Structure 1
Amino acid sequence: MNGPHDMGGMHGMGPIPIEADESVFHSQWEAKVFAMSFATFCNYFPVDETRHASERMPPGDYLTSSYYERWLYALELLITEHNLVTPEEIEQRIAKLSQEEY
């Protein structure tokens, strides 16, 4: 597969920023995405399927997304494709969480 995730040999992407003493998670939502993804991926989806799901992210989105945003994209894609939840259920939950934050 040749897409934005396959960056081997590409030029002009600039150096990879390396943070000194970088934490595993930069915010709480990343830890939650990791936990949900790990639990779901281990029980429902093989690693190759999860990798393929993140690689199906639109190229512009892929290149501007963080590591855990790609994990979230793959998780949402796979749980809807496998009929574990509907896209509407995801949107309803997002709306509910948004109201609770404010």
Structure 2
Amino acid sequence: MNGVHDMGGMHGMGPVEIEKNEPVFHSQWEARVHALNLACGYHRKWNIDMGRHSRERIPPAEYLAFSYYEKWLRGLEMLLVENGLVTPKELATGRAESKASGAGVLRASEVAGFLRVRRLARMDDDVPARFRPGERVLARNDHALGHTRLPRYARGKRGVIDRD
């Protein structure tokens, strides 16, 4: 997907400011957004690539104005609505339109176990790698409509596989 999220190598965006000793969360609300994303993953309505794609679909003006965790919150809101877990009205008002059934609730006592076994992205060990370290490759120059892990600056470029 060609979008504002794929800015690597673009001119005119200024330097990437690196904060020395940057904390994981600058504010408590950021930690809550992170926790919400993990907890909502319990429903298994989307996977890690769908989560990334939701953030990639944020309108460009919003995307550029949002902080890192604001993007995560907006992407989560989109996924919750698209998967029928909340309605736009519920998001806007902060009030449920109907009583929840209680099914599919991640209880505090279950969190550690869920996070321990939850693998957000994995490769099957029994599927052999297509390329081996040291092999020369040519990245495709395609423009996927959905999420892709191939950034624009690498499309159509030659490279060497570094590690398995």
Normalization by structure 1: what TM-score? 0.85
The alpha-carbon deviation at position 57 of structure 1 amounts to 0.3
Task: Give the equivalent residue in structure 1 for 2:154.
Answer: none
What's the counterpart of residue 87 of structure 2?
86
In structure 1, what is the Cα distance between the partners aligned to 2:38 and 2:17?
A: 26
Shift of 1:43: 3.6
Give the distance between the partners of 1:19 and 1:92, measured in 2 at CA: 36
User: Which shows bigger deviation, 72-81 or 42-51?
Assistant: 42-51
Q: Secondary structure of the equivalent of 2:84?
A: coil
Backbone CA RMSD of aligned residues? 1.4
| Bigger-Rg structure (1/2) | 2
Q: Distance in 2 between matches of 1:33 and 1:88?
A: 20
Aligned CA distance change for structure 1 residues 26 and 87 (closer, same or farther; 3 Å): same
Query: Could you give the per-residue CA deviations for residues 81-101 of structure 1, whole angstroms, max 9, x where no partner exists?
Result: 10001111112218xxxxxxx
Q: CA deviation at 1:8?
A: 2.3
Amino acid at match of 1:71: W
1:41–1:50 CA contact under 8 A, matched in 2: no
* 1:76 aligns to 2:73 (yes or no): no
Within 5 Å, give how 1:12-91 maps onto structure 2.
Answer: 12-44=12-44, 45-91=46-92
Which deviates the most, 2-11 or 52-61? 2-11
In structure 2, the partner of 1:8 is: 8
Partner Cα distance (2:52, 2:88) in 1: 20
1:97 match: none
Could you say which structure has the higher helix fraction? 1
- AA matched with 1:80: V
Asked whether the 8 Å contact 1:4–1:59 carries over to 2, the reply is yes
Q: 1:4 to 1:24 in 2, by over 3 A?
A: same
**Identical pairs, percent:** 55
Between the aligned partners of 1:20 and 1:6, the Cα distance in structure 2 is: 24
Runs of 5+ unmatched residues, structure 2: 96-164
